[in-house]
Amino acid sequence: MKDKSQNKETGKLGEDLAANFLAKKGYQILERNFSSGNVEIDIVCSHQQQIIFVEVKARFNAFIEPEKAVGLAKQKNIARGADAYLNRNKIILPIRFDIISINFFNGKIDIAHFEDAFYPIYYK
């Protein structure tokens, strides 16, 4: 069983890989680990006149796909964080919610990008 420090290291490595992956695809990274209250968004970026909020899920030898770990409660939190980010920065652009799944398995790294992975859920 992994401890919290190992999970944190895996998360940091996953976020670094995801940010590099997005940058290579032409996305502009605006902010990493944006937080508002108890909500954190892994990556905020822009691409083709959209603001994209990205949740990164990284796992070692995952038996379940990492992207399936973004449940309804997490989606609500991300939507809440996105609202805070847009209001704080006075941004009026279309938005999108993506998931980047990173699986470290047998010495290989598999990165999958799910655009429009979910739609904002009203959280009030």
pLDDT at position 1: 46
pLDDT at position 2: 53
Among residues 122, 113, 112, which one has the least CA distance to residue 76?
A: 122
Q: How far is CA 38 from CA 50, 77, 78, 84, 87, in A?
A: 25, 9, 11, 12, 17
Q: For residues 117 and 75, is the Cβ–Cβ distance under 8 A? A: no
- What's 13's DSSP letter? H
Rounded CA gap, 59 and 10, in Å? 7
Domain of 60, in residue numbers: 4-114
Q: Is residue 27 part of a domain?
A: yes
pLDDT at position 85: 97
Q: Is residue 66 part of a domain?
A: yes
Question: How many domains is the chain partitioned into structurally?
Answer: 1
Q: Is residue 10 part of a domain?
A: yes
pLDDT at position 18: 97
Whole-model pTM: value is 0.88
- State the CATH number of the domain containing residue 50: 3.40.1350.10
Q: Is residue 123 part of a domain?
A: no
Rounded CA gap, 111 and 114, in Å? 10
Q: Is residue 64 part of a domain?
A: yes
> Strand 50-60 relative to strand 39-47: parallel, antiparallel, unpaired?
antiparallel
Q: Is residue 45 part of a domain?
A: yes
Report residue 29 as tokens.
Answer: 């990274």
pLDDT tens string for the chain (124 positions)? 455 566 677 778 999 999 999 999 999 999 999 999 999 999 999 999 999 999 999 887 666 665 677 888 889 999 999 999 999 999 999 999 999 999 888 888 999 999 999 987 655 5
Q: Is residue 120 part of a domain?
A: no
